[in-house]
Amino acid sequence: MGSVWSADHLTLRVRVAVKFMDGQAAVSDRTALLRFEQEARAAAMIQSPHVVSILDFGKDSTGMPYLAMELLQGQSLEQRLTQGRLDLEQTHMVVTQTCRGLERAHAAGIIHRDIKPENIFLSQDPGGGWTVKIFDFGIAKSFGSNISMNLTGTGQMLGTPIFMSPEQAFGHPVDARCDLYSLGVVAFNCLSGHLPFEDAKTVGELVVAIAMKAPPPITKYRKDLPQNVLAWFERVLKKNPNERFQNAREMMESFDEACAVRTMAVSFSGFDVDESAPVPSSSAIELGAQDPMVVEAAKRISFPPEPPRPSLPPPSARPRVRKEGPSALILILAGLVLFVGGIALGLALARLRP
């Protein structure tokens, strides 16, 4: 669909990633252009540390569409899985943080529809920690909102078949639960190193298996997982959406309980930065006068993003300051004065009686 460059934003003075759309597609394929614009719009609407941040969208001086994003250091989950399967703690981090990103996306009325390891990024923080980021909302679908980003016709299958839910594989109407099914397949892949229906020889055979066959138990590949984790997989991969988890929060909390995980420090051993990514031969590209950037030929993965700045809570969440009244000491002294004055008045009246 295009290429990704690292860049210096001259106004903000930060490093960014710039995604350019393929030139031929930008001219001849209107649907591809609309999906490129949709990717920018959808991701920009979702305010979450677990969704890649969109900084700008526009066209350069030649009319080439571009998308400016935060520049991340790390690797995709797909790249990490080529080094071997994950342990339970690592998979727990991937699932729970992806759920948090999906929860925000679904709350904004956006279904991703292409959750897979290639679209999940493991970003290394400056302090050495890891943050999961969802990206590539090019085939996202809106629901329950007034935004328009539905670029597929009824009955059209779009996405990566082996990660699709049964309803999506058959081109039926989908809702947010299709993303949860796909994330369940991702978790299966993380823990086992395999995919539920990877033996299918054709797309047609794969679609029939997704819709009709029970997925193999993950114990086929791993014998060391807790029983609660096995039960979690049975539910998340149900054919009927009504029998799965109904929202990302429920799915995340259930996985927390299944893993019996509290707080942990997760490390992805064997991490390597991909230095073999091709870069364009030009050393600089003009992006247009409306956005002063200079694009440098560099690695796709470079400096880590600037850590997010803390924001103030909304007024309704801020603690109210109680106005202090008279001090307790003053009240006590006033009481004593009234008490003594009452006694003196009583004695004076007693003396006046005949």
Fill in the DSSP letter of residue 214: P
Cα–Cα distances (Å) from 302 to 1, 47, 213, 298, in that order, read: 21, 23, 43, 8
Fill in the DSSP letter of residue 52: P
47 neighbors 110 (Cβ within 8 angstroms): no
* Torsions phi, psi for 287 (to 5 deg): -100, 5
Catalytic residue among 56, 60, 114, 136: 114
Cα–Cα distances (Å) from 241 to 17, 68, 156, 181, 314, in that order, read: 37, 36, 19, 9, 36
Query: Bridge partners of 296?
Result: 6
The answer to whether residue 114 is catalytic is: yes
Kindly state the tokens that stand for 21: 């759309």
- As a whole number of angstroms, the distance between CA 219 and CA 227 comes to 10
Provide the residue type at 114 as one letter.
D
162 neighbors 197 (Cβ within 8 angstroms): yes
- As a whole number of angstroms, the distance between CA 158 and CA 152 comes to 8
- As a whole number of angstroms, the distance between CA 226 and CA 219 comes to 10
In our burial notation (b when 16+ CB lie closer than 10 A, e otherwise), range 272-300 reads: eeeeeeeeeeeeebebeeebebebbebeb
Catalytic residue numbers, as ranges: 114
